[in-house]
Every structure is written in C-alpha cells, then in structure tokens.
Amino acid sequence: MTEVRVNASGAYDILIGNNLLDSCGELCAQAVKPCKTCIVSDDTVAALYLERAEKSLKSAGFETVSFVFPHGEGSKTMDTIINIVEFLAENRLTRTDCLIALGGGVVGDMCGFAAAIYLRGIKFIQIPTTLLSAVDSSVGGKTGVDLRAGKNLAGAFHQPSLVICDYSTLDTLPDETFADGCAEVIKYGVINDRNFFFKLDGGIKEQIEEVIADCVRNKRDVVEEDEFESGKRQLLNLGHTIGHAIELCSNLEISHGSAVAIGMVIVMRAAVKYGICPAEDLEALISMLEKHGLPTSCTFTAKQLAAVATADKKRKGNDITLVIPHSIGDTRLCKLPISELENFINKGL
C-alpha cells in the first residue's frame, strides 16, 4: 500500500492499494472516530460495493445509513443535493458524524458538497471507484454540482478527512470509463511532468499503483501551494474549459474524460498554430490519447463551443483564463479576452 500525505487546510492521508475495501472500516476509524455515517453512492456502484463497505464499517463500530442516486452526470444537480441533505437531517446526523463518498467523480463531488453545507460543514471520506476520481476529483477538496448554464458552477472547497483508493474496483469499469481516467492521468504529464508523460508509453493498467500515486503526489503539491485556486492550481484545468463546453454541447453524451482529451488537443493545436508549442508535442499527445482509447476531435464548431465556454467559472469579467501548453511538461496560464475565444478555438479545431 502506498500512502500520500496532504497538508492543506485540513491534513489527511491518501491510501492507495489493492483490495482495501474490505478493511475500509478499520482505515476510516484511524481518521474519524466511529460514529453515524451516511454512505453516498450511485446505483451502479452500490450494486457492486455498498454491502462490502457497510459490513467493514459496521465491524469497525460505525453506524451506517446509505443514500443512493441514479448514476451519471444527469444526477449532478441541486435537486439531488437537496435530497441528500434532507436525508441527512431525517436520519439525524450531527456535526460529529460523517459522510462517505463511495463511487466516481459525480458521487465524490456531490457527497463533498453535501458535507460542506450540511450543518455548515461535517467530515467526509472519499472512496473513489473510478480511475478519474482516484487520480483527480477525490483529491484536493473541490466539490460541486452543475447548473443549467454550465458544469460545476455551484460548489465549495471542502477537504476530505481520508481518501481510500482501492484500485481493485477499477477491474469492474467498462473500457470507456477507464479511458476517461486515462485522460486525467495524461493531463498531469502535459501540465508539468514530461518524464511522467512518456512513462505512460508502458501502459497505465500495467503500472496502476505507481501511476495513481504519481498523479496524487503531483496534485498534492499543487493543492498545498494553491488550495483555493487563485494561481497555480488553475493549471489543473488544462483542457477543461473547452472540454466542459464539449460535454454540454453533446447533452452529456460525450463523457468528461473524452471531452477533456479533445479539449487538450484543441488548446495544444492552437498553441502550435500560434508558434508557442512544438508540432511534434501535439503529435505525441494525440498518439498517447489514441493509445488509451480516447477521442481527439469533435464535430462542434468554434462558435458553438465559445458560446458555452463563456459561461465557464474560469471567466472573470471580459476575460477567461486558459491553460496553454508551451510543450509537454510546460503549461502556462493565459488570460484571453472573451472576444478572441472563438478564434482561438477555431485555430485548435
């Protein structure tokens, strides 16, 4: 088992290992005193893992209730959040109790946001069951829900008390869902770790514990320096502004990971055309994404994508901050006037 310590506004451990779910109760009890806990999950994950998690938690002295909602981005709404916090109140969870997110990125974001606002904040623990949530969304304390105008436009920073990453749960993922996580893994290499990027030529599944640990350490370092995303942490949004627009233009039919993959290609191709990124790095990115089963293009126009992207939370007044690759391993923040966004995307397409 690999352990990574995060020292943010709240310090916590990330535990990465095989078959940790059956001992999750014992591990949770080392971070949170046994109490009443609500396991938040979706119907897909609950059918696979909820019973095992409950059994382990109860054997460690926790009292458990569970809230299960329909899987998918379509459930990531304020209506679901209201239902969760009403359920917590009905079951009389107190400030000394905690929530446990058992699932992927949607579950973790929703559970974390509910924990942030219920009784003005209670503890929560992340048990990610997808590669995407293991390497990205379960770490760093960003929580939130989607609004009609865009993704993750409501939320809070709320650090977990513990993250338990049992990568045996990844064995039940459909190939396309595993690929979604690969997009976030590849993203870390493009942002600031060229050696890590090319290490992925050896395969992600083949070195899964090491890959997850490298990604988590990478994100840990950024979060510790800029927890509330006022500077360097914005680099982690590589591909996300345009990626979120792609998701919304597709009515969520294009998954988050696939959209981020396409978004990374668009911004890097634009950077190549502006003469600030080598063309061979774009070719390397496209090759790496395709090797891991990810798309690299979409059919939407620059006008369509820009119209949606202008509602992104990274917009400030008449400007929007984009993450621009100067090479694989070197990305920088660039403030772009909203009036130039469509042309920038057009170059990337």
**Which residues are known to be catalytic?**
120, 142, 184, 219, 229, 233, 237, 240, 244, 256
Note whether 110 and 145 are within 8 A (CB). yes
